[in-house]
Every structure is written in structure tokens, then in C-alpha cells.
Amino acid sequence: MTTALPTRRLGALTVSAIGLGCMNLSHAYLQRPSADKAERLLRHALDVGVTFFDTAALYGFGANEELLGRTIMDRRADFTLASKCVLAEIDGKRGLDGSPQAITRVLEDSLRRLRTDHIDLYYLHRLDPKVPIEESVGALVRGVEDGKIGAIGLSEMSAATIRRAHAVHPITAVQTEYSPWSRNPEVAVLDACAELDIGFVAFSPVGRGLLAGGVGPQGVPEGDIRGAMPRFQPPHLAHNLDLATKLKGLADEAGCTMAQLCLAWLLSRRDFIVPIPGTTNMAHLDEDLAAARLDLPRPLLDRVDSLFDFGAVSGPRYPRDAQAQIDTELWEGEPLA
């Protein structure tokens, strides 16, 4: 039997207050689960009340969409489905193409892999600087008109770009990395979302696992995407693990886990924020979802704020090549790789 979670609104969409980011079931992080374990986790997420599932054409070069397509589409009416285009496989490699032709092609491929004729929320995964945002959004508008897309989203884009896109067609949600240690949306994006009635989806809400106690002094396995991120490399890693230890102290005071404290902190920031933690572990999923019902005292949440004030975290969040594809504002003085 499916249970219910508190809900939040993303534009006209109503979703569980905490969704599921599906990327690490097929992509980027190690170790990846077996197909059977991934399928069981997805079905369990539905059973315990998750109604918002986030995937992308990029993840596993389509493998993640195929996973969702074969696993949960028999319960299509029970959840909101989100996927993304622009970042995808091009000639066997990760590529960026925001042209209308590429967006149309990737959308068709995503529908086929997902075994559906409709994606509820479809994002531009990144801004392609070679293509005006108006042209990329226009391609999605045609998808809306054809009934293949329900709503349009943007990922890792600045307030200025959001406003340009919104002038072409209402934007339903903006997705950006947001956690106590990555607070770039606070520069301008959250205010733009509030002004335009756009929902905000927070990916990597527990600091890519480090703020959930999932990374130790040894770092991450070879081949894990985080290994190329400066915050997970020496000398930055030791400093950031010290911050995580202090966060654990606050979580212990609150009687919750580190991950739950991060998620509760995010939910307290604005009422239109929906975090989408990812996990390969069923118990961790249940732990994450329990944060939707936590009511932590404001002074303790303020101490999380202070612990991760600007400049507290060591190292840029992305290596130089990945940062070049990020349009979201930087903090004044934020380090770049």
C-alpha cells in the first residue's frame, strides 16, 4: 500500500516534498547498484509516497531513463516524471547541444526509453551558449503544444536567463545544486523564482554524500565523478570533512541524522523548494523521506547557516570544464578551479 508524504507545489505541479534523484542508480557515482536492486528501490520509493522522480537523457547515456521505463511506468498515474535534454550523448561522449533540432531528437529518444508519450516536467539541463535561450525554450514549447511535455524547467541557470526564458513560456521549475555547502541559488535565483512563481528543485542536497557521512578521508572510488571535483580532493577534502564532523554534532543535538538535518534545512529556506536526494540504499531513502516531517528549532537551523557561511567550504564545486557549462551566479570571491 502506498503511504503519503507532505506535498509541495512546483508551479502547477503538486509533488512530494522530497523527491528522488535517480542519477546515481545508473551514472556518475560508484558503486552502482545491480539492476534488480535499483528496480526494487524505485518501486519502494513509490510505495512510501515519493511522487516526484528525476532523470535525464545524460544519465548512463539513456540507461537511467530505460530503468524507469521498465520499472515504474505501470504506475504512471502515481507520480510526476521529470527528465532533461541538451546534455546528452553525442558521438559516444557527453555533449552539449541546445539547438531546437537536437532538443526535438533527444525528447523523442527519452519518450521511447521511458515508455511513455508524456513527460510531466522537461528541463534544459544546461545553457548552451551557442544557442539563444529563446530558441531552446521555443523547441520545448513545441513539445508542450504536441502534448509530449507538460511543463518546462531549467537547470543551473542564472536569474537573468530564467527571466528571458520565462518571457517565452512560463517556467515551472528551476533545478540547481543547493545544500548547506552549495548556496549559489541564494545570490539571485531563489528571489527570481519567488517573483515569477517558479518552483525550485534542489539537487545534491546532502553535498554529494559528504554531508551525509558517506565520504571519508580516503575520498571516493576511482572513476567516481566526484573525484574530479576540487572539494573532494586534497587539501580541500580534509577541511570539508571537518565541517561535516561539526554538522554531525548539530544533527546529534537535534536527534536526527546529518542527511535529515540538511534536508530539513533546505525545506525551511522557502516553501517552494523540493530537494531530490539520490541513494542506492532503501534504508537511506526512508531516512531521507522522514526529514519531510521534521520540525527543527529555528536556532539550530541558524547554526547550520553559520557553520556553512560564505567562504567556509574549501574548494570550487566543479572542475573548470564543468564550471564552464554552469550559468548560475557565483558568490563574490567564490574560488574557481
Query: Catalytic positions, please?
Result: 59
The full DSSP string for 229-276 is SGGGSTTHHHHHHHHHHHHHHHHHHHTS-HHHHHHHHHHHH-TTEEE-
H or E segment to which residue 155 belongs: strand 149-155
Reduced to 3 states (helix: H, G, I; strand: E, B; else coil), residue 32 is coil
Dihedral Cα 19, 22, 23, 25, nearest 10 deg = 140
- Give all strands of the β-sheet with 173-177 in edge-to-edge order: 20-21, 52-54, 80-85, 119-124, 149-155, 173-177, 199-203, 273-275
Instruction: State the Cα–Cα distance between residues 152 and 133, nearest whole angstrom.
Output: 13
